[in-house]
Amino acid sequence: VLVDNGRRRAVAQGFGEAFSCISCGACLNHCPVYAVIGDKYGVTTHIGGIGLLQASFTSGLDLTAGQGLSLCLNCRACVDPCPVRIDTPGMHARLREHLPAGQRLPGLARVVLALARRVPLMRAAGWALYGAERLGLRRMVQSKLPPRLQEMAPLLPPMPAPREMARPPAVIEPIGPHKHTVAFFSGCVMSTWLAPVNWATLRVLARSGCRIRVPRRQGCCGALHHHMGAGGAARKLARRVINAFSRLDDCEAIVTNSAGCGAAMKEYAELLHDDPRYADRAAAFSARVRDASEFLVVHGLAQAGPVRARAVYFDPCHLGIAQGITKEPRWLLSHVPGLKVVEAQRREACCGSAGIFNLVHPEVSGRLADLLVEDLMAAAPELIVTSNPGCLLQVRWGLARSGADRPPEVIHLMELLDHATGAAR
Ligand code: SF4
Ligand code: SF4
């Protein structure tokens, strides 16, 4: 072979899998980005996520970096339909590590990643934003922003009161008989800007008979960093999480309420596979991670009282596709008396949030949110229920964009179960 068009380099760098593609196109039929922008997701004849991977070696990263290498949502919708089971999103995350930081991320996204790495800073920012909201400054500042940023305001949730953003106790005792002991992963945004969801989850677990340990210094899971190509930061955060949970041998599971964090933590074994000090510990850690819905279905949910509403459940990609958890949330909802659960047409639609994709590609992300909201609204729900912070905020953004007169409330599954199990007491 005289000219291999970059293939040997791809193999040497661990991307040879991209060239086992048989060009059947099945992945394109499932790719949300391709559905929205078509052939613009690609370069020349190399179309879609797989095409961009191949072109990165045949034509060079300089070309693909500017032509959508950051467009893969990591939704994993293309992996199952692929007859060769090519891990396109996994390779995208790794390939982004080869880009210079300046090419990888715009400034705003870099600020968000830096904040997520430092939960105390995120909490302090939350306090400041809360104060600004109380003084009416947030609305005033928002009104001075360029229209594009004003329109994205729903992506920043209303801040909870500072006492809600405070750390929970290190141990929370069960309400009623003790049945299980679990460790709880608090996360970055869930422990600060969306702290009410964490408190709701802790109450649901405690009412379901769990003693809950909440270790200090957990930090962020690193999912955002891994997805955006900041692999070094992602591995550092993963090691910190593993350290924080290392002395909790009495815990049956490490429970999370965030689909994105759960998917990332279940992949720590892979992320740290070549770290001799952490590879085994990462595998043991990943094996214990459970989504809250997954845990409650197996170990039992407290008695639920009535919630009289019509609800549609939206599957986050990182729960439904990445973790294969679709039945569990619906099973839990089916145990809430009075709740009528209806289905949207497209069960595997991506909301377009994908960590901070909405900040990096607001137009594509907004169009995905619009399509999703149109679909969800066709089910005429009073409540939209989901299990991931990014999806929750993205659906709220989509509803704001739709201009719906009386938009349904968008809540986390654990908030609904908190309401239901609290009502039963
Ligand atoms: S992971 Fe999702 S966005 Fe990325 S190529 Fe696959 S289907 Fe498309
Ligand atoms: S589905 Fe798999 S084999 Fe078919 S074009 Fe996509 S990546 Fe290639």
State the CATH number of the domain containing residue 11: 1.10.1060.10
3-state secondary structure of 412: strand
Residues 6+ apart with CB under 8 A from 14: 94
Residue 233: CB atoms within 10 A of its CB come to 19
Tell me which of 44 and 317 has the higher pLDDT. 317
pLDDT of residue 204: 98
In the block, which residue shows the tokens 């791809």? 10
The whole-number average pLDDT for the span 62-70 is 81
Cβ(91)–Cβ(100) under 8 Å? no
Range of the domain at 372: 303-423
| Confidence band for 346, pLDDT divided at 50, 70 and 90 | confident
Roughly how many angstroms between the first and final C-alpha of the chain, as a whole number?
73
CA 345 → CA 136, 177, 255, 380, 384, distances in Å? 40, 41, 30, 12, 14
Percentage of the residues of the chain whose pLDDT score is greater than 70: 98
* Strand blocks (E) in 24-179: 42-43, 46-47, 171-172
For the chain, the domain total comes to 2
* 91 domain-assigned: yes
Pocket of ligand 2, beta carbon within 6 A? 21-27, 50, 82-84, 86
User: Is it the case that residue 101 has pLDDT exceeding 70?
Assistant: no
Tell me which of 370 and 65 has the higher pLDDT. 370
The whole-number average pLDDT for the span 125-151 is 89
- Hey, whose CA ends up nearest to atom 6 of ligand 2? 27
Q: Check if 225 has its Cβ closer than 6 Å to any atom of ligand 1.
A: no
Cβ(222)–Cβ(97) under 8 Å? no
The whole-number average pLDDT for the span 6-32 is 94
Residue 344 Cα to ligand 1 middle (Å)? 21
pLDDT of residue 111: 85
Across the chain, mean pLDDT equals: 93
State the CATH number of the domain containing residue 370: 3.40.50.11810
Tell me which of 151 and 397 has the higher pLDDT. 397
Residue 45: CB atoms within 10 A of its CB come to 10
CA 243 → CA 74, 218, 246, distances in Å? 27, 8, 5
**Is beta strand 180-184 parallel, antiparallel or unpaired with respect to 210-213?**
parallel
The whole-number average pLDDT for the span 246-252 is 92
Atom of ligand 1 nearest to the CA of 77: 7
Residue 156 Cα to ligand 2 middle (Å)? 37
pLDDT of residue 176: 93
Q: Which helix (H) or strand (E) holds 352?
A: none
**Cα–Cα distance measured from residue 258 to residue 123, given in angstroms and rounded to the nearest whole number:** 18
CA 79 → CA 171, 347, 368, distances in Å? 40, 17, 20
* Domain final residue pick, 102, 123, 151: 102
User: Is it the case that residue 87 has pLDDT exceeding 60?
Assistant: yes
* 85 domain-assigned: yes
The whole-number average pLDDT for the span 58-63 is 88
CA 50 → CA 162, 230, 368, distances in Å? 45, 21, 20
* 125 domain-assigned: no
* 137 domain-assigned: no
* Domain final residue pick, 51, 73, 102: 102
For 393-414, the pLDDT digits (tens) are: 999 999 999 999 999 999 999 9
User: Is it the case that residue 43 has pLDDT exceeding 70?
Assistant: yes
* 190 domain-assigned: no
**Cα–Cα distance measured from residue 75 to residue 97, given in angstroms and rounded to the nearest whole number:** 18
Residue 242 Cα to ligand 1 middle (Å)? 29
Token code pair at residue 344: 């949207």
Cα 294–Cα 300–Cα 305 angle in degrees, nearest 5 = 110
User: Is it the case that residue 1 has pLDDT exceeding 60?
Assistant: no
Tell me the best of 17, 56, 69, 78 to mutate to test the pocket of ligand 1, counting ligand atoms within 8 Å of each CB and taking the most.
78
Phi and psi (nearest 5°) for 62? -60, -35
* Domain final residue pick, 102, 128, 146: 102
User: Is it the case that residue 271 has pLDDT exceeding 70?
Assistant: yes
**Cα–Cα distance measured from residue 128 to residue 186, given in angstroms and rounded to the nearest whole number:** 21
Cβ(413)–Cβ(391) under 8 Å? no
Tell me the best of 19, 24, 28, 78 to mutate to test the pocket of ligand 2, counting ligand atoms within 8 Å of each CB and taking the most.
24
Atom of ligand 1 nearest to the CA of 50: 5
Percentage of the residues of the chain whose pLDDT score is greater than 90: 80
3-state secondary structure of 191: coil
**Is beta strand 383-386 parallel, antiparallel or unpaired with respect to 409-412?**
parallel
- Hey, whose CA ends up nearest to atom 4 of ligand 2? 24
Cβ(200)–Cβ(182) under 8 Å? no
The whole-number average pLDDT for the span 64-87 is 91
pLDDT of residue 385: 98
* 205 domain-assigned: no
For 301-344, the pLDDT digits (tens) are: 999 999 999 999 999 999 999 999 999 999 999 999 999 999 99
pLDDT of residue 2: 60
For 173-203, the pLDDT digits (tens) are: 999 999 999 999 999 999 999 999 999 999 9
Amino acid letter, residue 276: P
Token code pair at residue 60: 């060079």
* 385 domain-assigned: yes
* 315 domain-assigned: yes
